Amino acid sequence: MDFELNDEQRLFRDTLRDFADNEIRPVAQEWEATDRYPTEIVETMKDMGLFGLTVPEEYGGLDVDMVSFALVFEEISKAWMGIAGILGSHSLACWTIARHGTEEQKRRYLPDLATGKRRSGIGLTEPGAGTDLQGIATTARRDGDHYVVNGSKTWITNARYADPLPVLVKTDPSATPAHKGMSVLLIEADTPGFTVQRDLPKLGYKGTESCEILLEDVRVPAENLLGGVEGRGMQQVLSGLETGRINVAARSLGIAQASYDEALSYAGQREAFGKPIHDFQAIQLKLADMAIKVQAARLLVYWAAAQADAGKRVDMEAGMAKAFASEAAVECSLAAMQVHGGYGYSKEFVVERLYRDAPLMSIGEGTNDIMRTVIAKALTSGKGKIG
């Protein structure tokens, strides 16, 4: 049993850490406060090949192992979680195309997606359907060699840059159960009727946009049906979300680690009654609790990633990692604010941003209540085993 990164993973982590320290952390506070898009950081990520994390090598990607994949989101989120969001949705789209696309779709899109020349996201959520994806209302009616798409999507990360955007639609709205009539279409950005509307205002998760999308009689070539067969969209999306939950779990770990780091540092610098506050037992207890949660989250995240690398289905493992790590992020960010006292409530200190970024982690990629039902289903069916 080995709980250590291998040499290649350690070197990769160090490279990511240097990138985050040198290019993200120095500008994160200012750019987050002004909601400035991090164009320069995106260009560096292109040069590093990070847009090809989940693209097979034959199409020009890095095709990293899942532990290394988790390291990317952990290290970047320690500096600024919003940057990780730019890579997260893109990587999910690439993974979905690579695993489920036709050979022609892979050749057409993956090489440019790997370099960042093209970027992507994933069009799932609608104003009336989030957790219940079978409740989506967006339809795609077959008309000769095209599908005619009508509907709307919301909370779409990378919406203004996605080309193509994989969009979950109902190709057979009358199907029972509903998932048998659901498909994914790869919709290109310049398609008439495809309109990216307003950017949604957010508490945190700045740096990347989250938008509403309107689809009005959008004509999509039938060749852009993911995998070339109707009715497989829900399965395609759900298989991708296993990877997505490792991504969100790793982002959560990054927030929790950063919260601990900030609290530990501040507790050593701040003095009260003539001595550093880390000498007071009340602060020591908070630091110890934070350290326990961070390390437990790390082990769960890396375990889920390692199980995925072993070729196993990891809906239970990824669900556990995502639920625990996201709650650790929320709890550690609040504890870090408390350690900082009044300064923790100031926008001049990093912990205020961490506190605003953390809650999304327990909501995105499936709420933690849903994660618990996924875990319980695996346990009661015998597919998931503990101990």
Annotated catalytic residue 23: no
Burial classification of residue 148, based on how many CB atoms lie within 10 Å of its CB (0-12 exposed, 13-18 middle, 19 or more buried)? middle
Tell me the angle at which helices 233-269 and 66-79 cross, rounded to the nearest 10 degrees.
50
- Alpha-carbon distance of 79 to 72, in angstroms, equals 11
Query: What is the sign of the dihedral through the CA atoms of 105, 106, 111 and 113?
Result: positive
Query: What are the two backbone dihedrals, phi and then psi, of residue 286, each rounded to the nearest 5 degrees?
Result: -65, -45
- Record the tokens describing residue 154, joined without a space: 């919301």
Other Cβ atoms less than 10 A from the Cβ of 135: the count is: 11
Q: What is the DSSP string of 19-66?
A: HIIIIIHHHHHHHHHHT---HHHHHHHHHHTGGGTTS-GGGT-----H
CA 10 to chain centre: 22
Catalytic residue, candidates 209, 212, 327, 365: 365
Burial classification of residue 221, based on how many CB atoms lie within 10 Å of its CB (0-12 exposed, 13-18 middle, 19 or more buried)? middle
CB 232 within 8 A of CB 302: no
**Positions marked catalytic:** 365
